[in-house]
Structure 1
Amino acid sequence: MPDPLSRMSSLRDVASRIITDADVDSLLNGLIEQACRHGPWDLGAIMSVDIAHGDALVIARRDPSLLGRRLEDRWELATSPALVALQRNEPVYIRDARETTEFLGYRREAHERGYRTVLVLPMSSRDMQGRPMVLTVSARRIVDVSADDLAFMSMIVHLGAIAIDRAHHQRAQAAASAQLRRVLGVQSAMLQEVLAGGSMETLIEMLSDLLDASVLVIDFYGGAIFSSRSPDRGMYDLDAWRAVLDGPAGMRLREDVRELTTRNTQRRLAFEVSEGQKLSASVEPLSVDGEIVGALLSFGDGEHNDLRMLAIENAKFAVSVQLMRSVIRFRAETRTLTELFFEIVERRWRDANDVLERARRLGLSLTTPTRLLVVDYPHRPAASENRSAECNRVTAMLAAQQKLAVHTITVGEGLVCLLPLDGGTDESVANAAMTAFGRRLCSTLAPLLGREPILVLGDTFAGLEALAKEWERCWRMIKIARGMGKSGALSVPDLGPLPLLIGAADSPDVRAFMTGTIGPLIEYDQGHHTPYMETLSAYIRHGCRSQACADAMGLHVTTLRYRLSRISDLFGIDVETPERRFAVELALQLHKLVESRLPADQVT
Structure 2
Amino acid sequence: MSIVDKKEKLKKKIDQHLRRITRQLISFDTVQETLNYLLDSFYKEFTCDLVAVVLNEEGRLVPKSWIGEGFKVGETLQLDIDSCSPNLMRDALWWPNHKEEQVTCAFHEAMQKESLSTWFTVPLMNEQESFGICVIGFRGFVPLIIEAEEIFTQFGHDVAIALHAAREKERQKRKIKGMEWIKQNIFPGSSIEQVIEKVVERAGKGTQATMAAVYLFDENNSQFIFHPPAYGKADLLENVKWQAGMSLNSHFPFVEQTGGMKLTVPLIVHLKTIGALYVYKEDEPFSDEDLEFLTFVSDFVSMQIENARLYKEELEGKKRLERIMAHHQELVKKMVDGEDISDITKTISSMLESSIMLYDRFLQPISHHFEEGKSSLQPIIEEKVAAQKKQVMQLRSKEMWLDESEETPCVVWPIVGGRDVLGYAVLNSKKRRVDRVWRLTLDHALNTFAIEFIKQKLVLDATEQVKESFVNQLFEERMEDKEKIIQYAALTNWNIMEPHRVAVLTFSMEENDRDVVMMEEYKSWLWEQIKTRLTSYDPNIIFTRKNNEFIMIVKVNDTPPAVYWQGIYTRVIELMKQESPSSQVYIGIGGKAKRIEEYYACYMEAAKAASVTMHRRSGGYSFYDDLGAYSILSQASDQVTAELFVKKKLGPLMEYSKNNQVDLLYTLYMFLQHNGNLRKASEELYIHRSTLEYRLERISDLLQADLNNGEVRFELMMAYKLYSLFDVGTISPS
Alignment of 1:215 onto 2:344: no
Query: Aligned residue for 1:13?
Result: 180
**1:124-523 to 2 correspondence within 5 Å?**
124=267, 132-135=276-279, 151=292, 153-218=294-359, 225-229=366-370, 232=373, 261-264=392-395, 267-268=400-401, 281-299=410-428, 301=430, 303-361=433-491, 364-381=494-511, 382-385=516-519, 386-388=521-523, 390-421=525-556, 427-429=558-560, 432-450=563-581, 451-486=583-618, 488-491=620-623, 497=628, 499-506=630-637
* Distance in 1 between residues matched to 2:187 and 2:586, nearest whole Å: 79
Change beyond 3 A, Cα 1:550–1:353: same
Tell me, yes or no, if the aligned pair for 1:406 and 1:419 is still in contact at 8 Å. Answer: yes
Q: Deviations over 1:510-558 (max 9, x none)?
A: 969x98x998999xxx9xxxxxxx99x9899797x9x99994388799x
The aligned length equals: 507
Which amino acid is 2:448 matched to?
A: A
* Distance in 2 between residues matched to 1:144 and 1:556, nearest whole Å: 106
Query: Aligned residue for 1:72?
Result: 233
* Distance in 1 between residues matched to 2:594 and 2:363, nearest whole Å: 31
Which amino acid is 1:457 matched to?
A: I
Q: CA deviation at 1:449?
A: 3.1
Tell me, yes or no, if the aligned pair for 2:274 and 2:306 is still in contact at 8 Å. Answer: no
Alignment of 1:24 onto 2:154: no
Tell me, yes or no, if the aligned pair for 1:338 and 1:409 is still in contact at 8 Å. Answer: yes
The higher-RCO structure (CA 8 Å, 6+ apart) is 1
* Distance in 2 between residues matched to 1:87 and 1:521, nearest whole Å: 92
Q: Deviations over 1:223-281 (max 9, x none)?
A: 77433347755859xxxx8xx89xxx98x8997797564123853458xxxxxxx9764
* Distance in 2 between residues matched to 1:58 and 1:269, nearest whole Å: 34
Which amino acid is 1:350 matched to?
A: E
Q: CA deviation at 1:182?
A: 1.4
Q: CA deviation at 1:203?
A: 2.4
Alignment of 1:122 onto 2:281: no
Instruction: Report the secondary structure of 2:465's partner residue.
Output: helix
Aligned-pair identity (%): 9
* Distance in 2 between residues matched to 1:16 and 1:196, nearest whole Å: 57
Q: Between Structure 1 and Structure 2, whose CA radius of gyration is higher? A: 2
Name whichever of 368-377 and 386-395 sits farther off: 386-395
Change beyond 3 A, Cα 1:493–1:419: closer
Query: Aligned residue for 1:108?
Result: none
Q: CA deviation at 1:320?
A: 3.0
Q: Deviations over 1:363-384 (max 9, x none)?
A: 5543321112221112342253
Change beyond 3 A, Cα 1:588–1:417: closer
Change beyond 3 A, Cα 1:304–1:498: farther
Structure 2: 5+ residue runs without aligned partners? 1-29, 31-168, 218-223, 239-247, 656-663, 679-689
Q: CA deviation at 1:453?
A: 0.9
* Distance in 1 between residues matched to 2:372 and 2:251, nearest whole Å: 44
Query: Aligned residue for 1:110?
Result: none
RMSD: 5.4
* Distance in 2 between residues matched to 1:263 and 1:556, nearest whole Å: 48
Change beyond 3 A, Cα 1:222–1:372: farther
Q: Deviations over 1:105-141 (max 9, x none)?
A: xxxxxxxxxxxxxx94513259xx98633256999xx
Which amino acid is 2:550 matched to?
A: L
Q: Deviations over 1:545-600 (max 9, x none)?
A: 9x99994388799xx59x95xxxxxxxxx97996754675466456645774479x
Tell me, yes or no, if the aligned pair for 2:268 and 2:302 is still in contact at 8 Å. Answer: yes
Change beyond 3 A, Cα 1:162–1:135: farther
Tell me, yes or no, if the aligned pair for 1:231 and 1:299 is still in contact at 8 Å. Answer: no
* Distance in 1 between residues matched to 2:722 and 2:286, nearest whole Å: 117
Which amino acid is 2:344 matched to?
A: L
Change beyond 3 A, Cα 1:291–1:360: farther
* Distance in 1 between residues matched to 2:471 and 2:717, nearest whole Å: 35
* Distance in 2 between residues matched to 1:520 and 1:198, nearest whole Å: 63
Instruction: Report the secondary structure of 2:518's partner residue.
Output: coil
Tell me, yes or no, if the aligned pair for 1:479 and 1:598 is still in contact at 8 Å. Answer: no
TM-score (norm 2): 0.56
Tell me, yes or no, if the aligned pair for 2:201 and 2:212 is still in contact at 8 Å. Answer: no
**1:530-541 to 2 correspondence within 5 Å?**
none
Tell me, yes or no, if the aligned pair for 2:213 and 2:226 is still in contact at 8 Å. Answer: yes
Change beyond 3 A, Cα 1:75–1:479: closer
Change beyond 3 A, Cα 1:420–1:224: farther
Q: CA deviation at 1:405?
A: 0.6
